[in-house]
Chains A and B, each alone.
Chain A
Amino acid sequence: MNAPLAGAGAERSEGVWHAAWRRFKSDRVGLVCAVIVIAFLLLIVVAALGGVAKDWQREVGVANAPPTFLGPRPAEAIGVIEVPKGPNVDLSAVDPLAPRYKEWEERAAKFKTAETVKAETLPMGADRLGRDVLAKAVKGTQISVFVGVMAAIVATAIGTLLGAFAGFFGGKVGDFLEWLYNVFEAIPGILLIFAFAAVLGRGIGTVVLILGLTGWTGLYRQVRAEFIKHRNREYVRAAEAIGASVWSRIFSHILPNVSHVVLVRMSLLVVGFIKAEVILSYLGLGVGIDDVSWGTMLAEAQSELILGHWWQLAAATAFMAVFVTAFSLMADALRDALDPKLRGLE
């Protein structure tokens, strides 16, 4: 049941990554999703540099302005006091402050008041304070994805390093790390996050730290298992036999053979952390008060929904759904490309 071995001379030599890239390219779904993800990432970079959605906090629309395609809300007649027309009545005869009118007029002339015309409709509508939902969604994407990716990087770094040491050395080092892992695992995840959040407060950096410090356990377990599996493999024994140092064996020999597992796991972490950040921000434990993320948008959206204003909810959900779906499918395609055995039969 073996496929015939490709002629050793005919094929160009390719390593694991080249072969994976080739397989990835042939998966159309994965490719489309990768393009979408890259587009999002570009958008994020532009937003971070201030090119887009910089003024998301400005109240450019009327409160709860509907999206453009719905048309402006009909003017509400109730509770609006009519502004009287005609010039002001002259009270200079009775007003004790009359002599100072001139002085004040001169001073007032020095100031400029900008009359901002509040827009009746915005592309994706406005929120309760009249802020542009589209701008918020873009900025929120930047923050939520940034937090998710950074937290994933932190968790991956911790988990990989600790897992490598625990798996390779075993013995006392392994026992200590296992104890550390058990301590973190014994506490249910959300509880741990809450405990950290209670003491560290809110803010983007804090959220990254919290998620990173509480989310490394799954990766640790997997990397440790892989290292235990590999450290007795013959190529590692051979490396020891020729005199390779411990460092070299861990990082030059075994780690490259484990990196695809780490990569797949990290992509799962990104998705998980983005969703965790959304929930944390919703609860007020995530990003700071002056920041916007998908979570804060959802927090506002809840009360808006009762009034029938659904556009902020829709915008946040749409951006999040598109990005996370594309990212998940791309990660699936990546995993299939890295391990052809997992591919279903065609």
Chain B
Amino acid sequence: MAAYLIRRLWQMVPTLLGVVLLVFFLFKYFGGDPAEILGGLNATPEQIAAIRQQLGLDQSVWVQLGIYFKGILAFDWGKSWATNEAVSSLFATRLPATLTVMLPILILDALLALPIAMWVAYRRGSLTDRLIMVISTVALSISFLVYIIVGQYLFGFQLGWFPVQGWSDSVWTNLATYVPLPVLLALMVGLAPQTRLYRSFFLDEMGQDYVRTARAKGLTENTVMFKHVLRNAMIPILTNIGLALPGVFVGSFLIEVFFSIPGLGREVLLAVNRSDYPVIQAVTVYLAVITMVINLTVDVLFKLVDPRVVLK
């Protein structure tokens, strides 16, 4: 196990290197001139030159790269160009909001899709199954935007069931008041594809030989489905959830924008619109690290789920 962990951590290094290089060169060669952006529209050439020197942009590419690296390793992400707030504090304040919205969505999505998918797979080919498939296809074709616009208008504005926008400082107020509407809308959109996916997992398992063996032993259909099939189907389902975990940290920027939730996704969007490079770069690198760590954790925990997994 220790050997496996060490090897995986060792393998993360080139990937991280690649991410850093990608971000650095992308912004260096395709992005605008940081000095001009910082200087603003009315800056004089002298002012721009001064900024350039301050940022170290007059030095060679390799030196700049070195400075960039040092910053990352020292966990000094720099400051936002727009607000001058340290990027690390940006993370600390914005991340909780994102998680407060995204984690309920992830959990509820899986918890709801599972029984529906199982039921639909069991009744495969019936009218109900096909009806649900068609409904989910149509539901999927409408952009999430429309759901949010209409949902916000209908439930927030017209019916007044939920506040249209807003956020508070207490986690519980948020969960009770401000989170339900976004979560409801996200579920409406996400449930259909999740159900379809889980359904295909169940169907795959139901066609396996061990199902025939279980039947041959005289087990009831319920036992076969809930014990044998479900346990095997959990493997791809959990894999799927594991893959979705990193996305939870970025959050749904659409939800955050529409509902004015001060989360990480909205922050990145604002940074893009303001050409606030340090924020975008830092968030990208930071999230790449989180993604890799989460993947490693999921892989290690997977041994509990699938006994065939061999961690070499």
Q: Interface on A for B, CB 8 Å cutoff?
A: 179-180, 182-183, 185-192, 194-200, 271, 275, 278-279, 282-285, 294-295, 298, 301-302, 305-306, 313, 316-317, 320-321, 323-325, 328-329, 332, 344-346
Contact = CB atoms under 8 A, between A and B. Distances in A.
Contacts of A198: 27, 31, 271-272, 275, 277, 280
Nearest to A181: B15
B247 interface: yes
Contacts of A191: 250, 268, 283-284, 287
Contacts of B150: 313
Contacts of A306: 153, 157
Say whether chain B's binding surface is mostly helix, strand, loop, or mixed: helix
B2 interface: no
Interface in B1-20: 14-16, 18-19
7 contacts: A179-B14, A194-B269, A194-B272, A199-B27, A305-B153, A329-B137, A344-B125
Given A179-B15, A195-B23, A283 B142 contact: no
Q: Max chain A CB contacts within 10 Å: which of B250, B253, B271, B272?
A: B272
Q: Which 6 A-B pairs have the closest CB atoms?
A: A324-B141, A183-B18, A186-B288, A199-B31, A199-B30, A325-B141
Contact of A194 (B125, B137, B257, B280): B280
A328 B283 CA distance: 34
Interface string B236-249: 00000000001101
Contact of B146 (A185, A196, A284, A313): A313
Given A195-B23, A198-B275, A320-B141, A182 B15 contact: yes
B140 interface: yes
A328 B142 CA distance: 12
Interface in B142-179: 142-146, 149-150, 153, 157
Given A325-B141, A328-B140, A180 B18 contact: yes
A233 to B, nearest CB: 22
A109 B211 CA distance: 91
B22 interface: yes
A325 B30 CA distance: 37
Interface in B114-152: 124-125, 129, 137-138, 140-146, 149-150
Nearest to B252: A190
Interface in B263-281: 265, 268-269, 271-273, 275, 277, 280-281
Given A182-B15, A186-B288, A195 B144 contact: no
B165 to A, nearest CB: 13
Nearest to B291: A186
Given A188-B250, A190-B253, A285-B272, A279 B144 contact: yes
Given A179-B18, A188-B291, A298 B146 contact: yes
Given A279-B143, A305-B153, A182 B26 contact: no
Nearest to B250: A188
A195 B284 contact: yes
B253 to A, nearest CB: 7
